[in-house]
Structure 1
């Protein structure tokens, strides 16, 4: 069994400037003000749109992120319905195969320190899940049958595509301290990507 940390990567190649230009072109149709487009107009125009709550305009650009986390977190992520998802499937992935180094991989919980009694109990539970999974596969069960004993902490990989408006909604809910700690951990990682690559679209969002 392998224990890893969660991580996220930005898969979209569109720059903030390209996103701004496309959204400005779409937004100015509303006012038929295309004649006002120039090299510096997009940022001011979209800041104004966001300040007025006209967020439907920013739906014209979608951003894709790859997330490696545990399956418990993805159960929460996919509740955001205005999105597209592609996720590692426990129906078809056989973790006893060489492709997976003949072991399951689990995500370390953020809320327990290694060596604590809670962490030790969790690790023992994960090891028992792995033993049960391997026993079922060796007894002739298919991966989709044996997955019944796999834990919420199982590592999974998911591609997430949302438009800018939905990402703003996602951050407002999932970066909050009211969110599950591991969900908040992932949301903050993605938020940091947006702060680096698309700061204008989230600059007014306060996170805990």
Structure 2
């Protein structure tokens, strides 16, 4: 059985539009409300959207959306689903079979653990050479979790064996946001409270759009 260790990450799906396209759509919708379509120019969208945000006219911003795929661990995914409003789809441990390979997300505090793939039947203990005691303990727990799962899969279905997979297991979560909900998620009120920064480099996400 192979066990992989990777860093958390994300992928942005703009649904075939650029960020400027989305801002222009917001302006087109908003100008309808204010009956000022004749004021639309090639670069008027920025000033208009800033005005909308300042006036807290958030209904207009809901007309632009995009998706994000989070590659994170299972525990972080449970934090993400609390971040309403959004549409969610998640990898199902009930149907996914990890019998041949398990992938774990390297914790942000594990500075010495690097992305790697391990053959559990014959792996080099030199991997541990630079690990701290805590890192070594976590790494061994991941390996043992994978081996326990594989052993149980001999007699149990994936949905039954999944309870023995540790929370650090790689998990794919897809969220579809309207722009306002995205902004709300990254406000201090929500983002800092959820603690999701522990598992996904979310602070870089706004700059990726």
Could you say which residue in structure 2 is the equivalent of 1:151? 166
**Does the CA contact (< 8 Å) of 1:111 and 1:181 recur in 2?**
no
After superposition, the C-alpha distances for 1:80-111 in whole angstroms (9 at most, x for unaligned) are: 22111121111111111xxxxx1211000001
Q: 1:9 aligns with which of 1, 4, 11?
A: 11
Q: 2:146 aligns with which of 130, 137, 140?
A: 130
Structure richer in helix, relative to its length: 1
Structure richer in strand, relative to its length: 2
Q: Which has the higher contact order (CA 8 A, sep 6+)?
A: 2
Q: Distance in 2 between matches of 1:40 and 1:4?
A: 42
Pairing 1:28–2:31 present: yes
Relative to the length of structure 1, the TM-score reads 0.83
Could you say which residue in structure 1 is the equivalent of 2:71? 68
- Report how far residue 180 of structure 1 moved: 4.7
Could you say which residue in structure 2 is the equivalent of 1:206? none
Q: Distance in 2 between matches of 1:95 and 1:177?
A: 32
Q: Distance in 2 between matches of 1:22 and 1:43?
A: 11
- Report how far residue 31 of structure 1 moved: 1.3
Where structure 1 has 5 or more consecutive residues not aligned to the other structure, the ranges are: 97-101, 195-208
Shift >6 Å, 4+ stretches: none
- Report how far residue 6 of structure 1 moved: 1.0
**Does the CA contact (< 8 Å) of 1:20 and 1:42 recur in 2?**
yes
Relative to the length of structure 2, the TM-score reads 0.83
Q: Distance in 2 between matches of 1:188 and 1:166?
A: 16
Q: 1:142 aligns with which of 157, 160, 165?
A: 157
Pairing 1:116–2:132 present: yes
Could you say which residue in structure 1 is the equivalent of 2:45? 42
Q: CA RMSD in A?
A: 1.8
Alpha-carbon spacing, 1:72–1:122, altered in 2? closer, same or farther (3 Å):
same
After superposition, the C-alpha distances for 1:99-151 in whole angstroms (9 at most, x for unaligned) are: xxx1211000001332011111111111121111111101x200000000111
**Does the CA contact (< 8 Å) of 1:8 and 1:189 recur in 2?**
no
